[in-house]
Amino acid sequence: MTLETVSEVKSHGGVQGVYRHASAATTTDMVFSLFLPPQPERGEPVPLLWYLSGLTCTHANVTEKGEFREACARAGIAFIAPDTSPRGPDVPDDPEGLWDFGQGAGFYLDATQQPWATHFNMRRYILDELPALVAQHFPADMTRQSITGHSMGGHGALTLALSSPGRFRSVSAFAPIVAPRQVPWGRKALRHYLGEGDAVWRAHDTVALIEDGARVDELLVDIGEADPFLEKELRPELLEDACADAGIPLTLRRQAGYDHSYYFISTFMADHVGWHAERLNR
């Protein structure tokens, strides 16, 4: 698979790169960023931490604002940030021109309804196509992968980990949408991408997956108590209840005064990188 280098710069002894490639899953060009710590210069493959971004974001938001590189360089972990959806003039978008659906809002699933099904195959892209590309071009140890994400990307991290047992050694999230079947952002996306039907929606809902028997070893979740989306869209109490009923160890940290922004994410990013590093390097 051909890979185009958009940019590469040295940072914290490693290399922060941005790359473009033609995607078979989305039938568009896709862009992602990847930070390689200094260790690969000595020929050592390194574990890989996936970061899935939220609504409206591209790879650039966390790459420029996430403040992950120092922690990743210290831990010897590569950090990859894909885009949140296919993009381009031929890719359909929200018919109402809103920001919470369409381009920038792929919800990390494979759409089955037209016009979305042609391009919006983000689950296949994240789980199959992009890992194969990374394995081909970078010194990443694909037997040691973990995943995290923010908001819609937190939803993606949790649902992909729960529905892909053994794929990720650890999973965490910042302000995740934990029950999309029960909140406006999620219901809009699930209806358009997948059609009507609770049975289909449950496969892309963290709380429902846990209720239906999916398991991970443990979870780390941070939320901001001043997050304006907390009560209407995020509903962390539903995740608490589901994990308690299922016996999944959940560390849910409510951070006083923090909102939904990258000021919040960057403050606790090093904690998450360190938490994943412990599990990736066991």
User: Is 119 designated active site?
Assistant: no
% of residues, the chain, pLDDT over 90: 95
CATH of residue 70's domain is 3.40.50.1820
How much is the average pLDDT of 147-155? 98
Average pLDDT value for the chain: 97
Q: How far apart are CA 42 and CA 151, in angstroms?
A: 36
Domain that holds residue 172: 4-280
The residue type of 54 is G
- 57, 66 in Cβ contact below 8 A? no
Query: pLDDT at position 73, please?
Result: 97
Query: pLDDT at position 41, please?
Result: 65
* pLDDT tens, position by position, 251-261: 999 999 999 99
The residue annotated as part of the active site, out of 83, 205, 222, 227, is 227
Q: Work out how many domains the chain is built from and give that number.
A: 1
Question: 46-52 and 14-22: which strand pairing?
Answer: unpaired
Q: What is the pTM of this model?
A: 0.97
Instruction: Label residue 117 by pLDDT band (50, 70, 90).
Output: very high
Query: pLDDT at position 77, please?
Result: 97
* pLDDT tens, position by position, 31-42: 999 999 997 666
- For tokens 């990847």, what's the residue? 34
How much is the average pLDDT of 69-86? 97
* pLDDT tens, position by position, 205-236: 999 999 999 999 999 999 999 999 999 999 99
How much is the average pLDDT of 55-65? 98
% of residues, the chain, pLDDT over 70: 99
Q: How far apart are CA 130 and CA 88, in angstroms?
A: 19
User: Is 151 designated active site?
Assistant: yes
User: Is 260 designated active site?
Assistant: yes
Sheet holding 172-174, edge to edge: 172-174, 219-224, 250-255
The residue annotated as part of the active site, out of 59, 204, 260, 272, is 260
Instruction: Label residue 264 by pLDDT band (50, 70, 90).
Output: very high
Answer positive or negative: Cα dihedral of 190, 196, 202, 203.
negative
Query: pLDDT at position 95, please?
Result: 87
The residue annotated as part of the active site, out of 33, 85, 151, 172, is 151
Instruction: Label residue 96 by pLDDT band (50, 70, 90).
Output: confident
Say whether pLDDT at 278 is over 80. Answer: yes
In this structure, what is the dihedral angle of CA atoms 218, 125, 81, 105, given to the nearest 10 degrees? Answer: -90
Where are the strands (E) in the chain, listed by range? 4-11, 14-22, 29-36, 46-52, 78-82, 140-149, 172-174, 219-224, 250-255
